[in-house]
Amino acid sequence: MTLLTPSLDGLRTALEASWDEATAYQGAVRPGSPAFGQCYPTSWLVQQFQPEWEIVRGTVATADAHHTHFWNARRGTDGALRHLDFTWTQFEPGAHVCEFEIVDRRYLGDSASTVARCQLLLVRVLHRLATDRDAR
């Protein structure tokens, strides 16, 4: 898929404006935390616009539990792994990553409902980016 390439800041703004319960995992919402439940479709969408960013699946420890979480990463020219997480704000201060792995994009194994959430988010973000571009 070839898409226009917005800046990461522009992409973040469009994503944040496009999230709601329809794009969240199992329709989850948490008042005051718009990123809650948005990690996988967000990481998937980042990869569509910025293919050098891989999807990462990891475990985040909070005060009360361990949570599966998704974000993006890529290797810098120095070989170091750089992380990009537009949905980290769903976790309280003190949360930390316990472990992670880069997901092979050829074998995502997404369910039909996950694909639908990702596609909905993509349509919304494309609309937002086009609207923002036309407003300039």
Please tell me the predicted confidence (pLDDT) of residue 133: 73
Task: Identify whether 2 is part of a domain.
Answer: no
Q: Tell me whether residue 3 is in a domain.
A: no
Range of the domain at 85: 8-135
pLDDT score of 3 more than 80: no
68: which residues sit within 8 A by CB, 6+ positions away? 57, 58, 59, 60
Q: Is residue 98 part of a domain?
A: yes
- For position 2, what pLDDT does the model report? 43
- How many folded domains does the chain comprise? 1
The predicted model scores a pTM of 0.91
| pLDDT tens-place string over residues 4-24 | 678 999 999 999 999 999 999
Flag whether 1 is in a domain: no
Q: What is the C-alpha to C-alpha distance for residues 117 and 39, in angstroms, rounded to an integer?
A: 11
pLDDT digits (tens, 9 = 90+) for 31-45: 999 999 999 999 999
pLDDT confidence tier of residue 136, bands split at 50, 70 and 90: low
User: Is the residue at 30 inside a domain?
Assistant: yes
